[in-house]
Chains A and B, each alone.
Chain A
Amino acid sequence: MEIVVNMQGITKEFPGVIANDKVDFDLRQGEIHALLGENGAGKSTLMSVLFGLFHPDEGSISIRGEEVRINSPRDATKLGIGMVHQHFKLVHNFTVAQNIILGEEDTKNGLLTMEKSIDKIRKLSELYKLKVDPYAKIEDISVGQQQRVEILKMLYREADILILDEPTAVLTPQEIDELIKILKSLAQEGKSIILITHKLKEIKMAADRCTVLRLGKKIGTVNVKKTTNEELAEMMVGREISFTIDKKKAEAGEVVLKVERLCVHSDRSKRDVVKEMGFEVRKGEILCIAGIEGNGQTELVEALTGLRPISGGSVVLNGKDITHASIRERSLAGMAHVPEDRQRHGLVLDYPLEYNLILQQYFAPPFQKKGFLQFAPIRSYAEKLIDAFDIRTGKGAIALARNMSGGNQQKAIIAREMSRHTDLLIAVQPTRGLDVGAIEYIHDLLVSQRDEGKAVLLISLDLYEVMSLSDRIVVIYEGENVGEFDPASVTERELGLYMSGSKRREAS
Chain B
Amino acid sequence: MKDLWTKTLERIGRSPTRIEATSSVMAIVCGLLFGLALMLIVNPLEAFPGFFTVITGPFQEGLRSLGNMFYFGVPIILTGLSVAFAFRTGLFNIGATGQLTMGALTAVYIGVNWGFLGPFHWVVAVLGAMLAGALWGAIPGLLKAFRNVHEVVTSIMLNYVAMYFNTMIIMNFLYDFQASRTAHPLPSARLPVLFLQNIFPGSRINIGIFIAVFFVAITHILLKKTTFGYELKATGFSRDASRYAGMNEKRNIVLAMVIAGAISGVAGAMMYLIPGRHLPYETILITEGFTGIAIALLGLSAPIGVMLAGLFYGALHQGGTYLQLYDFRPEIIDIIIAVIIYFSALSLFLQKIVKTFIDKRTKASMGLSEEVETR
Contacts and interface: CB of A to CB of B under 8 A. Distances in A.
Interface of A: 13-15, 53-55, 57, 307, 326-328, 330-331, 337, 339, 344-351, 355, 359-360, 362-363, 368, 371-373, 394, 402-403
A54 B245 contact: no
A373 B226 contact: yes
**10 nearest A-B pairs in the assembled complex, by CB-CB distance:** A328-B246, A14-B367, A345-B244, A327-B246, A359-B245, A350-B237, A55-B365, A348-B241, A57-B364, A344-B240
A339 B244 contact: yes
Contacts of B369: 402-403
B6 to A, nearest CB: 15
Contacts, number: 78
A21 B162 CA distance: 62
A360 B365 contact: no
A178 B373 CA distance: 34
A15 B233 CA distance: 25
Given A57-B365, A371-B228, A373-B230, A348 B246 contact: no
Interface string B340-375: 000000000000000000010000110101110000
A10 to B, nearest CB: 13
Nearest to B235: A348
B227 A360 contact: no
B246 A360 contact: yes
Contacts of A349: 237-238, 241
A345 B241 contact: yes
Residues of B contacting A: mostly: helix
Contacts of A347: 238, 241
Nearest to A355: B230
Nearest to B367: A14
A331 B238 CA distance: 19
Interface residues of B, number: 28
Contacts of B244: 307, 327, 337, 339, 345-346, 359
Interface of B: 14, 225-231, 233-234, 237-238, 240-248, 359, 364-365, 367, 369-371
A365 to B, nearest CB: 11
Contact of B234 (A55, A339, A351): A351
Contacts of B225: 372-373
A345 B239 CA distance: 9
Contacts of A13: 364, 367
23 contacts: A13-B367, A55-B359, A55-B365, A307-B243, A307-B244, A326-B248, A327-B244, A327-B246, A344-B238, A346-B241, A346-B244, A347-B238, A349-B237, A350-B237, A351-B233, A351-B237, A359-B241, A360-B246, A371-B226, A372-B226, A373-B226, A373-B230, A394-B367
B237 A372 contact: no
Contacts of A363: 227
B227 A371 contact: yes
A328 B245 CA distance: 7
A55 B365 CA distance: 7
Contacts of B240: 344-345
Contacts of A355: 230, 234
A357 to B, nearest CB: 12
Contacts of A57: 364-365
Contacts of A328: 246-248
Nearest to A15: B367
A347 B238 CA distance: 8
Contact of B245 (A14, A360, A368): A360
Contacts of A373: 225-227, 229-230
B365 A362 contact: no
A194 to B, nearest CB: 20
Nearest to A359: B245
Given A326-B246, A346-B244, A368 B227 contact: yes
